[in-house]
Amino acid sequence: MKRNWYRRMLLSYFPIFLFTVTILIFLSFIVVNDISHKETVKADRITTSYMVDRLSRSLKDIEMDVLEEIGKNHRYRDFLNIGLTDDNSQVIFDVVDSMRTLTASDSLLDSIYVYRTEDKQVLTRSGQVGWESFADKAFIEQALANPDSHGWSIVRPYHEFSTEKDKRVISIYKREPLPFGTEGLVVINVDMYAVEQMIRSMNNGGVSFVDVLDAAGTPLFSTRGAGQSGNAEGGKVLNRLSVELTGWSFESGIAAGQLFMWVSVISYVWVVIGLLTVVFAIFYIIYITRKNYKPIRVMMNRIESIQLREDAFGLKMDELSMIDHTLESLIQQTADFEKEQRENLLVSRRQLFHDMMQGSGPEKVSERLAKLGLLPAGEKPQQLAFVVVEIGRYRDFSSDFSTRDQHTLKFALTNVLQELAQADGMYGWAEWIAENRMGMIVGLSGGSVPAREKIREFADKGRIWVAEHLRLSLLFGVGHVEREWEKVGLSYKAAIDVLLHKMSLGKQSVVMSEDLPDEAGRKWYAYLQHGSGLVKEFRLLTGEWRAHLERLFEHLEKDCLKDEDIRMVLLTMMDMLGSELSDMSDELHSHFKGPEAKAKQGEADDTATLDELKAYYFERLTDIYRTYVAHSETKNHRAMINELKAYIEENFENPDLSLKHLSDRFHISGKYASYLFKEEFNMKFVDFIVQLRMERAEELLATTEESVQNIALQVGYANSITFGRVFKRIAGVTPGDYRKLKIKPGKARHTEDI
């Protein structure tokens, strides 16, 4: 039986083997044929390149031979001289003889003639011809209009006399005397018939063909025989080459001949053999399949009776045991597929949830929900709201529990809230939308209790249950109620907006979107006023800054600002305070700049509620206030001002006196010294120095004969130019005019009056 089955299998696969071998042989032939085709194209290109090169060389040789003869034979130049030609007719004979010799020396060269510009006479091989009787004068006129052209013309008709028949030639002309003269032209004509014969002599018309086209693509001539035009019977174009001198294109290919006919016949034979082999293999496989259908039927019976576990059929044949093993593998694959389908179902549910959350969900959401098993049959919530549930102090939650425990708690939290919603007669669908946030769509079918109140009761119940059993604090943000599934995304955005105010709403664990106040009534300048008042009271060393801070936090809580806005208001207040105090001492500077200040700001960012933030800022500002009080007691404010004033009055003549100098002398910052002057004298430090120097300068100008330069040096200026400019700005006149006018020094600006 095994041997019989082996024979059956061998015969079943043998046609496939035969078919494969046939196809491989056929493909090999195709590859060989392709290689032969490429080599043919290559050989044809070489032949065509030879034709192009020979034509180019022939044209160049004709041009160079004629120009060389004209350059060496002075008779051509003598012909251009009318007086010399009239006196000596031998000149004409010599030039004509030269042109005939050149024409006879090259089979391609048809004719040469010389045109004399002065009297419009033309000298050809037949002798001198007048302008009116010369038949090719149209070409000469064209050449005279474009004398700098150096290329060969297009194929054109040519004859010297009107009685002659037209010849097809290509022409080139050169100015005389060579190379750039203006006394005449030399025209060289090449016979197109000779060119065609030369190309035909290099081409075997029975094997290949050549088509020559001009620059415009118009056919000039072809080596194809009659009935061989085009790409059908005459063969396919394989190569295209251009002749730079004339602009012609050579298109060449292999003519349809006996060799390629046999190649085509052989190709067709192999195609027919391949097709017959395929047909034979198909019929043979059908025959073997029908013959071997009985054991396959047994296998199908085994599959149909697998639940009965009748293994008698499988024990008789080893091959069927293998099939049975394969079926068991398929069953396992089916189970894996079902598992994957369940996972895909979960992914589809999450995707639909996020699409609805973002407002980009598909149409007919109710049908999709029912199809995914998310909406019980016959149940259609009439009111829908999105609830965002956030785990409080998530950083502590992450550090206290391992990753596995976190996933377990989140899974439990999801099931608890969904079951609590169902227990209250509501529809609940929850998914995690972030590490610390869970989104939940809550649906109500109606009832006497308003939807908002019922959702609030559900959220309170869930918060209390989770706090007692899971030891987690939750914050619920509830969006507004919608009537359609497609608008759930709007409720989600409202719930997210609620959580942006969690710091100011920290005392409430369940916040409805309707509870937020309108932002139109908020006055941002009020927060800045409180901050500015706090800075002022702080600087004046009164304890009223605490009252300003208290009122600021009352406004922040009352207006329910967003968390980021609250932190921005407080950060602005600290920046204002730092600009006033940070430059007074290094200790105060460390409270606002540097690593210590960054660490303090990090502590502020870690606060979760407004009460915590308020306690933090009261503590931090108290530390800064103590440092500022200690600094003020150590360095009396008024004594410092008087000491600075006395020192400046004694040393104002020093040119190096500056805020930097005072900073080094009294161990205070330059900014603080400038601040003291502005506060006490209502004028800048620079203006105070200038005032003292100008008073001393007026006195010296009025009472001494010192030069302006010396006076400038005595009052602290490096040169008289700077001094004179400042003096005129203060006194209204220059120092010299001041002395001439004998103005008395003014007393109104004396420092005692400041």
CA distance 597 to 225: 100
Q: In this structure, are residues 284 and 233 in contact, taking their beta carbons and an 8 Å threshold?
A: no
Tens digit of pLDDT for each residue in 601-654?
Answer: 888 877 777 788 888 888 888 888 888 777 766 555 667 777 778 888 888 888
Whether the per-residue pLDDT at 510 is higher than 70: the answer is: yes
Q: What is the pLDDT of residue 643?
A: 78
Query: Which residues are CB-contacts of 633 (< 8 A; sequence separation ≥ 6)?
Result: none
| Mean pLDDT value of segment 325-343 | 74
Q: Which residues pair with 128 in a beta bridge?
A: 123
Give the three-state DSSP class for 30: helix
CA distance 416 to 420: 6
Tell me which DSSP letter residue 487 carries. G
Long-range contacts of 421-425 (CB under 8 A, 24+ apart): 421/458, 424/454, 424/457, 424/458, 424/461
Q: What is the pLDDT of residue 396?
A: 80
Upper half-sphere CA count for residue 323 (Cβ side, 13 Å):
19
Most confident of 36-45, 524-533, 626-635: 36-45
Preceding peptide of 157 cis, ω within 30°: no
For 19-33, 444-458, 540-554, 697-711, which range has the lowest pLDDT when averaged over its residues? 19-33
**Mean pLDDT score of the chain, rounded to an integer?**
77
Topology given in CATH for the domain delimited by 73-199 = Beta-Lactamase (3.30.450)
For 118, the token pair is 């002065």
What strand order describes the sheet that includes 121-124? 127-129, 121-124, 109-116, 184-191, 167-176, 156-158
For 501, the token pair is 């105010």
Give the three-state DSSP class for 469: helix
Whether the per-residue pLDDT at 232 is higher than 60: the answer is: no
Among candidate residues 442, 508, 509, 497, the one with its CA nearest the CA of residue 472: 509
Beta strands in 577-711 (DSSP E): none
Give the three-state DSSP class for 222: strand
Tens digit of pLDDT for each residue in 512-524?
Answer: 777 666 654 455 6
| Mean pLDDT value of segment 48-74 | 88
CA distance 409 to 407: 6
Q: In this structure, are residues 361 and 352 in contact, taking their beta carbons and an 8 Å threshold?
A: yes
Compare 505 and 461 and report the one with higher pLDDT: 461
CA distance 550 to 527: 12
Pairing of strands 167-176, 156-158: antiparallel
Tens digit of pLDDT for each residue in 532-568?
Answer: 778 777 776 667 788 888 888 887 777 777 777 788 8
Q: In this structure, are residues 76 and 178 in contact, taking their beta carbons and an 8 Å threshold?
A: no
pLDDT band at 44 (very low <50, low <70, confident <90, very high): confident
Pairing of strands 219-222, 437-444: unpaired
For 545, the token pair is 């800054």
Whether the per-residue pLDDT at 338 is higher than 60: the answer is: yes
CA distance 114 to 95: 9
| String of DSSP letters for 501-551 | TTTTTTT-SEEEGGGSPPGGG--HHHHHHHHHHHHHHHHTT-TTHHHHHHH
CA distance 727 to 708: 11
Beta strands in 67-124 (DSSP E): 109-116, 121-124
Topology given in CATH for the domain delimited by 359-515 = Alpha-Beta Plaits (3.30.70)
Q: What is the pLDDT of residue 51?
A: 87
CA distance 678 to 95: 111
Q: In this structure, are residues 112 and 186 in contact, taking their beta carbons and an 8 Å threshold?
A: yes
Q: Within 10 Å of residue 200's Cβ, how many Cβ atoms? A: 14
For 10-24, 105-119, 296-310, which range has the lowest pLDDT when averaged over its residues? 296-310
User: How do the domains of the chain map onto residue ranges?
Assistant: 73-199, 203-214+222-255, 359-515, 519-634, 637-753
Q: What is the pLDDT of residue 2?
A: 47
CA distance 315 to 511: 72
Whether the per-residue pLDDT at 679 is higher than 50: the answer is: yes
What strand order describes the sheet that includes 249-254? 219-222, 208-213, 249-254, 236-242
Q: What torsion, rounded to 10 degrees, do the Cα atoms 681, 687, 689, 693 define?
A: -120
Tens digit of pLDDT for each residue in 84-130?
Answer: 777 667 888 888 888 888 888 888 888 898 988 888 888 888 888 88
In percent, the amount of the chain with pLDDT more than 70 equals: 78
Q: Where are the alpha helices (H) located in 372-450, listed in sequence order?
A: 394-400, 403-423
Quickly count helices (H) and strands (E) in the chain: 28, 15
| String of DSSP letters for 670-688 | HHHHHHHHHHHHSS-HHHH
Compare 541 and 429 and report the one with higher pLDDT: 429
- How would you class 452 by CB atoms within 10 Å of its CB: exposed for 0-12, middle for 13-18, buried for 19 or more? middle
| String of DSSP letters for 241-306 | EE-TTT--EEEEEE---HHHHHHHHHHHHHHHHHHHHHHHHHHHHHHHHHHTHHHHHHHHHHHHTG
| String of DSSP letters for 26-55 | HHHHHHHHHHHHHHHHHHHHHHHHHHHHHH
Q: Where are the alpha helices (H) located in 163-257, listed in sequence order?
A: 192-201
Q: In this structure, are residues 367 and 469 in contact, taking their beta carbons and an 8 Å threshold?
A: no
Tell me which DSSP letter residue 80 carries. T
| Mean pLDDT value of segment 67-86 | 82
Give the three-state DSSP class for 240: strand
Q: What is the pLDDT of residue 447?
A: 64
pLDDT band at 448 (very low <50, low <70, confident <90, very high): low
Q: Roughly how many angstroms between the first and final C-alpha of the chain, as a whole number?
A: 130
The phi and psi torsions of 485 (rounded to 5 degrees) equal -65, -35
In total, the chain counts a number of residues equal to 754
Q: What is the pLDDT of residue 752?
A: 38
Q: In this structure, are residues 410 and 432 in contact, taking their beta carbons and an 8 Å threshold?
A: yes
Among candidate residues 59, 58, 65, 245, the one with its CA nearest the CA of residue 151: 245
Q: In this structure, are residues 559 and 522 in contact, taking their beta carbons and an 8 Å threshold?
A: yes
- Report the alpha-carbon angle 517-519-522, nearest 5: 105
| Mean pLDDT value of segment 16-35 | 73
| Mean pLDDT value of segment 431-453 | 82
Tell me which DSSP letter residue 733 carries. S
For 407, the token pair is 């996933």
For 303, the token pair is 């599959």
Q: In this structure, are residues 190 and 55 in contact, taking their beta carbons and an 8 Å threshold?
A: no
Give the CATH number of domain 637-753; options: 3.20.20.70, 1.10.10.60, 3.30.300.130, 2.40.10.10. 1.10.10.60
Among candidate residues 461, 494, 454, 452, the one with its CA nearest the CA of residue 477: 494
Whether the per-residue pLDDT at 749 is higher than 50: the answer is: no
Q: In this structure, are residues 387 and 476 in contact, taking their beta carbons and an 8 Å threshold?
A: yes
